[in-house]
Amino acid sequence: MSGEFSVSVGLDRQAFMARVRAALGRPDSPPAAVSPPDIDESVARLAGPRDDLVALFCQRAQAAGMVVHATTSATLRVDLAAALEALAPRAACVSVAEGSLRETVLEGLRRIGCGAIDWRAKGGLEAHYDADLGVTDVWAAVAESGSLVLASDAVHSRGTFLVPPVHLALVPAGAIAADLLDLLAFPEGRTPAELPAAVVLVTGPSKTADIEGILITGVHGPREVHVLVIRDAV
């Protein structure tokens, strides 16, 4: 799937851009180097580093319809076991980076007799359709809006937080950004290819109000999102 065919329809780039420049009233001049406007943070910022980010995140995530529990590294094992027991999954997909957190999750699943599906065994999102729980860590989180931020890479599938009917996310306090302005700061000198191909902000369970404005969760994605915040983890 290299896609090296040429699409011979449509305009070429020069002709297309010439139309844009003509409309701007400068048909011949090459585009100038412009610097984008500054953002007045006194207007746009809704949360700052001085806020209690864990408390704010928990409150906003709850308001967005997620079920939020807080724990610490010391009590994580117990609280995770309790959460998993309550959810009682039969088969789970796990997208958690290698390390102790991943081991804790796998051990918790083993203890309740829940199989962890190896989603790499099948192509695309396919393996996730067999799971009734998706467990993930997060790329980041946002206190302002209570959002989980998930990103795709070798050990994080785009399906884990999307396809199973229930999503459980583990959020270390250190991952919580105060404001969207803090999350969406792209460092100078980085190239687009260094960004993950997909970064997804999840703010609540999948929902719709298309039929007579009645709110229903779980239309395509999960109907329940559970969040475990680890207060002392970075």
On whether the CB atoms of residues 168 and 112 are closer than 8 A, the answer is: no
Contact flag: residue 97 with another protein (CB under 8 A) = no
Contact flag: residue 189 with another protein (CB under 8 A) = no
Nearer to another protein, 26 or 69 (CB): 26
Q: Which of 202, 227, 229, 230 binds another protein (CB under 8 A)?
A: 202
Q: Which residues pair with 69 in a beta bridge?
A: 228
Distance, CA of 159 to CA of 67 (rounded, Å): 20
Q: Pattern of binders to another protein over 110-139, x per CB under 8 A?
A: ---------xx--xxxx--x----------
Distance, CA of 125 to CA of 86 (rounded, Å): 26
Closest approach of Cβ 12 to another protein, in Å? 7
Contact flag: residue 103 with another protein (CB under 8 A) = no
On whether the CB atoms of residues 229 and 57 are closer than 8 A, the answer is: yes
Closest approach of Cβ 61 to another protein, in Å? 11
Q: Determine the interface stretch with another protein among 69-77, 79-87, 102-110, 149-157 (rule: CB under 8 A).
A: 149-157
Contact flag: residue 197 with another protein (CB under 8 A) = yes
Edge-to-edge strands of the sheet including 224-230? 67-71, 224-230, 166-172, 133-136, 91-95, 115-117
Contact flag: residue 55 with another protein (CB under 8 A) = no
- Reading the block at residue 72, the tokens are 């610490």
Q: Pattern of binders to another protein over 11-40, x per CB under 8 A?
A: xxx-xxx-xxxxxxxx----xxxx-xx-xx
Distance, CA of 95 to CA of 101 (rounded, Å): 11
